[in-house]
């Protein structure tokens, strides 16, 4: 790796060890298909560090610092890993490791579902946006499923006009396909009967958890606080504070990257640096 001063977003040796084999196997598979068979010169760790830098700081790809590989090269790797499901694969592998560390079984049996509407930037195509009538937000809607620890199991990004029930059905499909062991989920009142009935078809007991009408203002809601905390965690990654991505698939990839960042730190016991440095 080219010597340079480390950025706070750089991945540590211990965290890199958790994902290096998956990325190296991906590269070797690509090399095996090359006519020349010549090895690539780009350092995979530096590519991943650059992707984490974009995800954590929220900058545009073209504004990557010059001590990283060229931004076009970094984006090409990012797009390939997005399209070939490498970020999703890493999330699956790391979630199992994080659960084992917490004394849980690798495969979860229960999950929590929620959505979040976010504003979009000016470069996002109008065709992939919509209006969340309830929250009065023009943009996109993120739907996620977490386990009871708050680890992300499934992600979907749609126009904000998409109903929670429609998103819920897609999330339940995705979760059941990846984690056949899932048999229970909790949702908020936005999902209503359609999601409950669809879950029953998948052998998933979907329980609607309403807010307490007796408690005014903010209060912690049973089970649902877990997924709401996870949405808060990913918002610490500034690329996700607003949806800047042209493709919904890129929005989903950025959520997976934030999750990978958090999972590797959780497994190794590292912490996330605070933006407010003490000098």
**Which of 248, 278, 252 lies closest to 145, judged by CA?**
252
- Higher pLDDT, residue 13 or 211: 13
How many helices (H) does the chain have, and how many strands (E)? Answer: 8, 6
* Structure confidence at residue 214 (pLDDT): 64
Instruction: Confirm whether pTM is higher than 0.75.
Output: yes
What tens digit of pLDDT does each residue of 229-241 get?
Answer: 999 999 999 999 9
CA 158/CA 163 separation, integer angstroms: 10
Q: State the average pLDDT for the chain.
A: 91
Q: Pairing relation of β-strands 184-187 and 205-208?
A: parallel
Lowest mean pLDDT among 8-17, 73-82, 158-167, 185-194: 185-194
CATH architecture of structural domain 106-245: 2-Layer Sandwich (3.30)
Q: What is the pLDDT of residue 271?
A: 75
Tens-place pLDDT, residues 32-67:
877 766 667 789 999 999 999 999 999 999 999 999
**Using one digit for the tens of pLDDT, what is the confidence trace for 160-213?**
999 999 999 999 999 999 999 999 999 988 887 888 999 999 999 999 887 766
Flag whether pLDDT at 123 surpasses 80. yes
So what's the pLDDT on residue 279?
43
- Say whether pLDDT at 222 is over 60: yes
CA end-to-end span of the chain: 29
- Reply yes or no on whether the pLDDT at 275 is more than 50: no
Q: Where in the chain is the domain with CATH 3.30.420.10?
A: 106-245
Is the pLDDT at 221 greater than 90, yes or no? no
Q: Is the pLDDT of residue 274 over 80?
A: no
């Amino acid at each position: 790796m080219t010597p340079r001063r480390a950025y706070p977003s750089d991945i540590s040796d211990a965290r890199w060890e958790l994902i290096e084999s998956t990325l190296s196997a991906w590269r070797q598979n690509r090399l095996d298909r090359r006519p020349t068979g010549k090895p690539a010169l780009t350092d995979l760790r530096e590519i991943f560090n650059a992707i984490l830098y974009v995800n954590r700081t929220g900058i545009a790809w073209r504004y990557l610092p010059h001590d990283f590989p060229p931004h076009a090269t970094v984006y090409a790797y990012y797009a390939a890993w997005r399209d070939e499901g490498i970020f999703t694969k890493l999330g699956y592998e790391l979630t199992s490791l994080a659960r084992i560390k917490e004394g849980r079984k690798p495969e979860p049996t229960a999950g929590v579902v929620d959505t979040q509407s976010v504003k979009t930037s000016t470069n996002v195509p109008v065709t992939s946006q919509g209006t969340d009538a309830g929250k009065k937000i023009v943009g996109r809607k993120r739907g996620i499923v977490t386990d009871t620890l708050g680890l992300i199991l499934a992600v979907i990004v749609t126009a904000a006009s998409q109903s929670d029930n429609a998103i819920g059905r897609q999330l339940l499909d995705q979760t059941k396909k990846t984690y056949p062991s899932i048999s229970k989920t909790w949702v908020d009142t936005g999902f209503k009967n359609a999601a409950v009935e669809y879950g029953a078809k998948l052998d998933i007991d979907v329980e609607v958890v309403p807010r307490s009408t007796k408690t005014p203002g903010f209060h912690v809601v049973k089970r649902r606080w877990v997924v709401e905390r996870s949405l808060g965690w990913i918002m610490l990654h500034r690329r996700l504070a607003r949806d800047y991505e042209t493709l919904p698939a890129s929005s989903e990839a950025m959520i997976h990257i934030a999750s990978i960042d958090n999972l590797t730190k959780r497994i190794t016991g590292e912490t996330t640096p605070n933006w407010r440095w003490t000098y």
